[in-house]
Structure formats: C-alpha cells, structure tokens
Amino acid sequence: MKPRSSCSPSISRALLLLLLCCLCSSVARSQTADSCTSITGLAAVSHLIPFGTSNLTCFDAWTSEGFIVRYGKSGQNNTWSFVLSAPDGGGYISVGFSSDGAMVGSSAVAGWTTASGSGVAKQYRLGGTSPRRCPPDQGSLALVPGTTLLVAQSSRLYLAFQFTAAQPPPPYLIYAVGPSGAQLSNNYLVRHRSYASAAVDYATGVASSASGAGAFNTKKWHGAMAGLGWGVLMPVGVALARYFKRHDPFWFYAHVSVQGSGSCSVLAFLARPDKGSKVRRYWNWYHHYVGRAAVACAIANVFIGLSIAHEAAALSAFYGIFLAVWVLASVVLEVRLWRTARSSH
C-alpha cells in the first residue's frame, strides 16, 4: 500500500495561491520601478513621448526622492531632450536650470496630474518663494512646441520636454517635490515640500550627489549672522549705552560686548580718551552720531538684503515687529530718563 500524501488539496491550493501572489507582486514592482538599467520603466511610456528616448544619457538624480533624469542633445537645431522620472506622491515634480545652484532666478519645468488623471506640464520663472513670484508659462528655456508633457504610468510620473540652446544648459539642476494634494490656483505653484540641487557635467553625464537645499547653506548663514549682528545686536547695544548708565560699570561692559559681537565698531573703543581729556567730548560726538547712523544703515541693509534674497515676507514682518518693540521700549525708557534728569534738577 502506497503512503498517502501528507498535504491535503486545500493546503496545495493555498501554497499555489501564495506563489501566484508573490509572482504578481514582483511583476507589479518591476513595472512601477524605474532605473537607469531598467528595460520596462521608460519603455512603457516612450510611445507617448513625442521624441526619441532610447539614446538618452541617464543618471540617478535625487536618490532619497527616487528622481531619475535622462537627457540628450540632437545635432539638429541644437535641441536638448529631458525626461524626469519620479514617484507619484500626489504633488508636482519639477526640474530647474540654474547657473549658480540657487532656485530663485532659475527657470523650471513642472508637471502634475489633475483630479481627472490627465497630466499638466508648464515652464515657470522662479522669481521668489511665494506662488505669485513663480508665474506659469514664463522662463528662459526656449521650449520646443508640442514636446512638453507629463505622463503617469504605474505610480510614476514622467516629465518630458525639449528646448533649443546653442550652449549646454546651466550647470546646476534644481529638483523639487510639491506637497501632496495641493490645489494649484491658476497653475501657480505652491511652495515645495522638499528640494535639492546638483551640479551636472553634460559632456560626461556625471552629476554630483543632490544636496538637500533645505539645509541652511553658507549664504543663508552669512545673511543670518549679518542680520543678527547689524540689525539686532547693534540697536540693543545702543539702548544699553543710552538707558542703563546708572548701572555702572555693567552698562559699559554690556555695551562693549554687544557692539563688539555686532560689528567692528568696537574698534572705536581702542581710541576712547579718558573722561578728563579735552578731546573726550569730540569723541563722544563721533561715537554717538556715527553709531546711530550705523544702526540706521544696518536696519535699512537688513530689509534690502531680505528683498535681494527673495526671502518670504514673513521674515521682513518678523524683523519689523522686533523693530517696533525696540522703538516702543526706547520711547518708554527715554521718557523715564527725561523725567529722572528733570527731577534731579
């Protein structure tokens, strides 16, 4: 008598079903994934893109966000072709071209899907960080008509476009991802969820690692430190010298320390004559009036710097609130000082 199988038909069917599920899942992942070595990613949508994509140079652009860039140059009419591939996170994807790695001042192409599932792709001039400073259908890229589009396929977005340029494109690419589910009023871009930049050598196809531009870069540190020193510490130092002289010698050391941290005006203290010196009053005139002029220039410089850097209006408003509090406190202390001097006489 032959031994009976220990596996019942129901168990066999369950194992077969599990195997089929694993196979389907593997196929689905291969269809949704894209890479520079993939034969199914771009190929699945290449028939929808109005230019050839088989000979494009490919590189992993922004690994943390799954961005892949393909590009190439045609000898005819100096036409450059680009295809940006990225996961569909429910927001827009974009790639910008910058000469210095900064987003503001660059031109970008962005694409997203509408509620109906159709793709939208437009060029933008990135003039600032607010939606109104990034108008659609503007920019320096000479886009080839009829070649800019966005295709959605298997949970990925493919943003394709062509433009003409006699010289290679700007050496920095700026990548951005929009917030999921954001409503784009009149096609104006809302502020990105995340962005990064990378340098690209178009001749070799070598790109640097995309650095998260959300990090506080050197230029922003420079601006923040200058704003803190000139726009905050110097006004505070003036207030210390003006209204806290009765706390001698605290006011002097506090004033020197704060002003020294604020700017190089501390060098004036090296030439400070003794109180009994005949030239002391001239030094006082110089220090008082030049110091106040420096504070006024510093305040103006902070606002000018914020405007040049195209920073959000909230920063200017925040600094304006600080100045309002400083002015109000100075008025109150000035009145107290005047009353004290009047009562002493």
Residue-wise DSSP of 113-149: E-TTS-EEEEEEE--SSSGGGS-BT-SS-EEPTT--E
240 with 199, same domain: the answer is no
Q: Is residue 29 part of a domain?
A: no
Number of domain units in the chain = 2
294 with 189, same domain: the answer is no
pLDDT for the residue numbered 39? 64
Given a cut of 70, the residues of the chain with pLDDT beneath it are 1-32, 39, 212-231, 233-234, 237-238, 240-247, 250-262, 264-275, 279, 283, 286-288, 290, 307-314, 345
Q: Is residue 86 part of a domain?
A: yes
Domain that holds residue 225: 218-343
- Closest C-alpha among 231, 257, 232 to residue 244: 257
Q: Is residue 101 part of a domain?
A: yes
119, 151 Cβ separation under 8 angstroms: yes
* Amino acid of residue 343: S
Task: Choose one of 156, 181, 208: the last residue of a domain.
Answer: 208
Per-residue pLDDT tens over the stretch 229-269: 666 766 776 676 666 666 677 666 665 565 555 475 555 55
160, 143 Cβ separation under 8 angstroms: no
Compute the distance between CA of residue 163 and CA of residue 161 in angstroms, rounded to an integer: 7
Compute the distance between CA of residue 165 and CA of residue 239 in angstroms, rounded to an integer: 57
Dihedral angle, C-alpha 186, 188, 191, 197, nearest 10 °: 150
Helix 313-344 with 280-308: angle, nearest 10 deg: 160
Q: Is residue 200 part of a domain?
A: yes
Task: Choose one of 186, 208, 230: the last residue of a domain.
Answer: 208
Question: Is 91 in a helix, a strand, or coil?
Answer: coil
274 with 300, same domain: the answer is yes
190 with 63, same domain: the answer is yes
118 with 227, same domain: the answer is no
202 with 247, same domain: the answer is no
Q: Is residue 134 part of a domain?
A: yes
Tell me the whole-structure pTM to 2 decimals: 0.59
Compute the distance between CA of residue 125 and CA of residue 134 in angstroms, rounded to an integer: 5
- Closest C-alpha among 265, 262, 264, 263 to residue 233: 262
Residue carrying structure tokens 């230019």: 51
165 with 237, same domain: the answer is no
100 with 238, same domain: the answer is no
